[in-house]
Structure 1
Amino acid sequence: MRLVGIRERRRVDVAVQIGDRVTPIAEVGDFYADLDHWLPQARRTDTGLLPVSHVDLAPPVPPSARVVCVGLNYRAHAAEGGFTPPEHPTVFGRWVASLTAGGTPAPVPAGEPGLDWEGEVAAVVGRRLTDADQASAAAAVLGYAAFNDLTARTAQKLTGQWTLGKNADRSGPMGPLVTADEVGDLADGLRVRTRVNGETVQDGNTRDMIFNVGELLSRISRTFTLEPGDVLATGTPEGVGYVRKPPRFLRPGDVVEVEIDRLGVLRTPIVGPDQRP
């Protein structure tokens, strides 16, 4: 099952997408507050009411969600940056305000040479997790989505904290949420590819992840309770722009696509700083 968000003014509803049509199910906060009620209704949906081209798509997560990102979680990506594989996950946060749906233009912040791409898989939590073991944490995943952790490298490298560079306006495009039963275990391998203007710049596989989803969620839940709707961005494979010689970044007019097995293609056009909100 594929879930999307649809926005009408300040309201976002979770909707089921079937082909090129969508059917609204419930307001996004209500949906995650009672998944046991709304998920069966969503699964019974067998046709779409509205053309997807006629709605304003939004990430299918509540405004209260925490977006927890993991850096250096692919062995080859750690190596290309000159890092040894970390003993503990490198965790940083995004704000929900940075998230967008596919097709939404991402502006390059003023003072940046461009944005760097980081195609990855995002997992969305479906059950409350406190001090969870790895198996319970893995079983609590509602579904997965293609994600692009677009990064303002100049801002990121000003200090040892990455918050500024990871929260540029509209820098967190997220695709539809595909339920876990249709995706399977990431350890079995999903191909993660990123293209810039049609050229493949990343081509990795989730089998290269250092910490799996269950382990990550379990570790995080020891420090703070994870709630339904929270997002885990699981890291990116090798091939990012800043390590290239010379470095390469996304500039206005570029189009970046993240394609992940079973999750689809996430497309984001890049625009100039004059198109920030």
Structure 2
Amino acid sequence: MKFIGLLDGHDTVVGVVVEDRVTPLAEVRDFYAALPKWTAQAATVTLGERPLAEVRQAPPVPPTARVLCLGLNYRAHAEEGVYGVPDHPTLFGRWTASLSVGDVPVPVPANEPGLDWEGEVAAVVGSSLADADPVTAESAVLGYAVFNDLTARTAQKLTAQWTLGKNADRSGPMGPLVTADEVGPLSAGLRLTTRVNGEVVQDGSTRDLIFPVGEVLSLASRTFTLHPGDVLVTGTPEGVGYTRTPPRFLHPGDVVEVTVDRLGTLRTPIVGAEQR
């Protein structure tokens, strides 16, 4: 099944997508509070109520979600930068206020030479996890979505803490959520490609992840309880812009697209700071 968020006034409603139509199910917090009920109802939908093209989409996660991001989680990417391969998962946080969806313009902050692309896969938690083992943690994943961890590198590199550079306005576009039963384990290998204006700049496989989803969720659950709707963004393959000679960044007028097997394509236009 495929789920999206759609705006209904000031609320976000989760809907199930069938072909090119969507059927609204429940307000996003109610959806994650009663997942078995709503996923069972979604499974009975054979024809969506509304054309997908007519709805305004929103990230399919609750406003209370913790968005955990993994840095340096593909071996080749860790080796191409200045940090090297980590001994433990490198986790940082995004605020849900930074999330957006496909085709939403993302502005380059005024003090940046451009934004850097990071095509990724996001895992969305479907049940509470506390002190969970890795197998239990991975089995709790509701589904996966394409993600682009657009990064303000100047801000990121000011200190050892990455929060500032990872939370620029609308810089976390996220695609529809595809349930885990249709995607399979990331260890089986999903191809991930990132294109800038049609040119391939990243081409990797989730088979190359250093720290698996279950292991990272298990680690996090030892410190705090994870709840349905929380998100783990799993890292990016090699080919980011700042490691190139000379460095390359996204500028106003550029279009970046991230495509992941079984999850689809996430398209993001880049605009100037005046459009914040």
For 1:38, the equivalent position in structure 2 comes to 38
For 2:69, the equivalent position in structure 1 comes to 69
In 2, Cα distance between equivalents of 1:92 and 1:83: 15
For 2:97, the equivalent position in structure 1 comes to 97
> What's the secondary structure of 2:142's corresponding residue?
strand
For 1:110, the equivalent position in structure 2 comes to 110
Q: How many residues align?
A: 276
Normalised by the length of structure 2, the TM-score is: 0.99
In 2, Cα distance between equivalents of 1:172 and 1:82: 23
> What's the secondary structure of 1:138's corresponding residue?
helix
> What's the secondary structure of 1:73's corresponding residue?
coil
Alignment root-mean-square deviation, CA: 0.6
For 2:54, the equivalent position in structure 1 comes to 54
> What's the secondary structure of 1:137's corresponding residue?
helix
For 1:249, the equivalent position in structure 2 comes to 249
Instruction: Give structure 1 stretches of 5+ with no counterpart.
Output: none
Instruction: Give structure 2 stretches of 5+ with no counterpart.
Output: none
In 2, Cα distance between equivalents of 1:41 and 1:179: 14
> What's the secondary structure of 1:7's corresponding residue?
strand
> What's the secondary structure of 2:63's corresponding residue?
coil
Query: Following TM superposition, by how much is the alpha carbon of 1:9 offset from its aligned partner in structure 2, in angstroms?
Result: 2.4
> What's the secondary structure of 2:3's corresponding residue?
strand
In 2, Cα distance between equivalents of 1:2 and 1:54: 17
Query: Following TM superposition, by how much is the alpha carbon of 1:18 offset from its aligned partner in structure 2, in angstroms?
Result: 1.4
Normalised by the length of structure 1, the TM-score is: 0.99
In 1, Cα distance between equivalents of 2:8 and 2:242: 37
- Residue type at the aligned position of 1:107: P
For 1:190, the equivalent position in structure 2 comes to 190
In 2, Cα distance between equivalents of 1:243 and 1:208: 19
> What's the secondary structure of 1:248's corresponding residue?
coil
Identity over aligned pairs, percent: 70
- Residue type at the aligned position of 2:105: P
For 1:168, the equivalent position in structure 2 comes to 168
Runs of 4+ with >2 A deviation: none
> What's the secondary structure of 1:169's corresponding residue?
coil
For 2:205, the equivalent position in structure 1 comes to 205
Query: Following TM superposition, by how much is the alpha carbon of 1:114 offset from its aligned partner in structure 2, in angstroms?
Result: 0.5
- Residue pairs, 1:210-229, within 5 angstroms: 210-229=210-229
In 2, Cα distance between equivalents of 1:15 and 1:150: 26
